[in-house]
Amino acid sequence: MSKKAIQPEDLYDYQWVSDPSIHPDGSIAYMHKIIDREHNQYKTHIYYISADRKHTKRITDGDYDTAPSWSPDGRYLAFIRKTDKKPQLWILDYTSGSMTPYSKLERGIGFFRWSPDGRSIIMTSRVLGEYEKQAHLPDRGHIVERTTPKAEGSGLWNGTYQHLFLLELQHRQIKQLTSGEFDASYPVWSPDGTEISYLAQKKPSIIYSDMDIVFYNDLYTLNMASEQTELQTRHDLTISQFAYAPDGQSWTCIANNREYGSGTQNQVYRVDRSTGQIDSLTPHSDIQFGNFILNDMKSAGAIPGPIYDINGQSVYVLGTYQGSVDIYRITNQGTCTAITTGGKDIHQLVVAPQGDRFVALIADANHPYELVELPVDPVAHHLSNDPYRLTHTADLWLSQHEVSIPESFWYTHEDGIKIQGWLMKPVQVTDNSDNIPLILQIHGGPHAMVSDVYSHEMQTLVSQGYAVLILNPRGSFGYGQHFAQACRQDFGGGDYRDLIEAVNHVLQHHPELDEQRLGICGGSYGGLMVNWIIAHDHRFRVAVTQRCISNWISFYGISDIGISYTEGIVGGNPWEDFDRLWSQSPLAHVQHINTPLLIIHGEQDMRCPIEQSEQLYTALKRQGKQTKMVRYPDSNHTVLKSGKPSYRIDLLSHVNDWMKQHIHFPIEVNP
């Protein structure tokens, strides 16, 4: 039987896994997500894999259960259950199988961790601050006094702050530990359980007096006996994750110093408790530490921090480098060694209590994300056996469908910068095929990375008979700091040339591609570049721009990152640098756009608000240009990745239809 071409509606058949937690006996709990087609929503359950790996079963009975975590002794499994839109902490007794709710906080919980002795759990929850007038109240207007009163994914600020709460399990008592006009996040227990470290922005920096436009944070400790808080860093870093050293006398952090704004690559730092000294262990590395691959199939979930080896002499971290995310070991002396080697995306890395195995989400070009076990020698610090896939959610489906495997290539730009990309060809083509339409797909960020990892979005395009070109132009992470900052204050310059030269490169090396039938797509920063390119290069027959930017002047005031991004990355503000910002705005060049343009946007997008697309659409329509706009209600910046299932399918269908309307191709697909 011939295999089927991948269609947008195949999204309904995917399953997702995430949030692995390893029991002391080696068994594993994890979250399993499916789509409820009838109700147009996702459902999440907790599953269990036995220690001998012979049995897998569902162990919770809710429809919205996430974030499983075993207690240190393995007796209990804590998880988050959402009921009435309020996520609360529940605990499953491993012996009896009983499940009990342990929190009833007014606004639910967002994150939790077991104490080392298993007697307590630290949680985060939001509480009203002193300025209650800024809360959403039904009988009066919403007063705004903050510089940036909204945030992507949550909307207008409702007057709440995130704080830490302690649950004492024996008596089921919950106590608020922090308070004030700041957000406390990422709580971590000290190894002896006597204190908690957390991240917060409590004071303005020397440069900025407004906390809404400051992106640094500090590390604080909270003594559990005295309840005294102590500041451990001094406005030096933006810290993403951290971990205590086994002796509790230092912390290892994944962080950056914001020297180049959001284009600053992360390093691995050590913060010494006694001296306050902060040292980078990786000052000259080209690796972007953390996971920065963009992919529509990746599950959201907790991002674990650095993992110490059993001897406390090194840490394991994830690093993004040249199209792959791998595990790296960094010693206390700063030696960095790859434990895995390329060709994959590793996400949500956790380690067994004995230190002899990792479990993580891993995807590659052939297969979407699955849970994989990686045996490791805790003494020699290398994989001791081949990785073992624990879940097989996509095996049957993949056996029935054609998958295009991207071909990797590099080219050197005329200014000496090396660019990495991938070309995906339709699986229906033969060696004698020609006249294949080519679509340039531009990723968002720009400070992120794409790779050859399996993507439903890309596979649906290729399955329609198009070749798809993806690449990491200058500004992408994973190629060193110089590369990451190379597009700063130069949007539409070097990055534009990288993208166009990549098209020229593949056309030159692949005569089967039709240079007369070119399409272009992109989202967020990628949408900005679509708008810019079709205003300056008229080779593309069709274009799709999603959640885009068209006007830096208005973006400055309406995006949740408008001030910091425009000033720090684009360069300037509207009252001092109007001409510069306007000249770099695609809207300033809209009269030159003649390419048929499909515009797609979520109506609740706070990152690149929908007015950016509305301005572009109106200008094009007023000039009689060929354009169409698709709007998705109640959808934010991530509609393609985590929006309503029907919206995601509808979006991909609109893209396919728009391409088909404007690029005729002769290849027959097998539906």
- Residues 140-152: pLDDT tens digits? 777 788 888 888 9
Instruction: Please give the single-letter amino acid code of residue 431.
Output: D
Token pair 């570049």 in the structure block, residue: 529
- At residue 403, the 3 state secondary structure works out as coil
Residues 220, 231 contacting (CB under 8 angstroms):
yes
Q: Answer whether residue 135 shows pLDDT above 90.
A: no
Q: What is the pLDDT of residue 382?
A: 86
What sign does the CA torsion over 638, 642, 646, 649 have?
Answer: positive
Cα angle at 358 between 354 and 363, to 5 degrees?
A: 170
Residues 560, 148 contacting (CB under 8 angstroms):
yes
Query: What is the chain's mean pLDDT, rounded?
Result: 93
- Strand partners of residue 419: 411
pTM of the predicted protein model: 0.96
Q: Which of 45, 447, 637, 662 is catalytic?
A: 637
Q: What is the per-residue pLDDT across 3-62, written as a single tens digit (0 to 9) for each?
A: 999 999 999 999 999 999 999 999 999 999 999 999 999 999 999 999 999 999 999 999
Using the CB atoms, write b or e for 180-192: b if 16+ within 10 Å: eebbbbbbbbbee
Strand segments, DSSP code E, in 274-369 are: 278-280, 288-289, 307-308, 314-321, 324-331, 336-338, 345-351, 357-363
* Element holding 615 (H helix, E strand): helix 611-622
Q: What is the CATH number of domain 15-180?
A: 2.120.10.30
Closest CA to 545 of 464, 614, 644, 494: 614
Q: Answer whether residue 132 shows pLDDT above 60.
A: no
Structure tokens at 331: 């010693």
Mean predicted confidence (pLDDT) in 489-514 = 96
Q: How far apart are CA 613 and CA 601, in angstroms?
A: 7
Q: What is the pLDDT of residue 431?
A: 59
Q: What is the pLDDT of residue 149?
A: 85
Q: Taking the CB of residue 509, how many other CB atoms lie within 10 A of it?
A: 11
Domain ranges of the chain: 15-180, 408-550+585-662
Q: Sorting pLDDT into bands at 50, 70 and 90, what band is 439? A: very high
Q: What is the pLDDT of residue 331?
A: 96
Q: What is the pLDDT of residue 412?
A: 95
Known catalytic residue: 524?
yes
Known catalytic residue: 69?
no
Closest CA to 609 of 668, 537, 559: 559
Closest CA to 566 of 553, 575, 579: 553
The CATH homologous superfamily for domain 408-550+585-662 is Alpha/Beta hydrolase fold, catalytic domain (3.40.50.1820)
Rounded-to-5 percentages of helix, strand, coil across the chain: 20, 35, 45
Mean predicted confidence (pLDDT) in 357-371 = 97
User: How many residues can be counted in the chain?
Assistant: 671
Q: What is the pLDDT of residue 665?
A: 60
What sign does the CA torsion over 579, 585, 591, 592 have?
Answer: positive
Q: Sorting pLDDT into bands at 50, 70 and 90, what band is 202? A: confident
Cα angle at 622 between 617 and 623, to 5 degrees?
A: 105
Please give the residue that has the higher pLDDT: either 158 or 188: 188
Q: Answer whether residue 69 shows pLDDT above 60.
A: yes
Q: Answer whether residue 591 shows pLDDT above 90.
A: yes
Q: Sorting pLDDT into bands at 50, 70 and 90, what band is 430? A: low
Q: Which of 524, 554, 564, 635 is catalytic?
A: 524
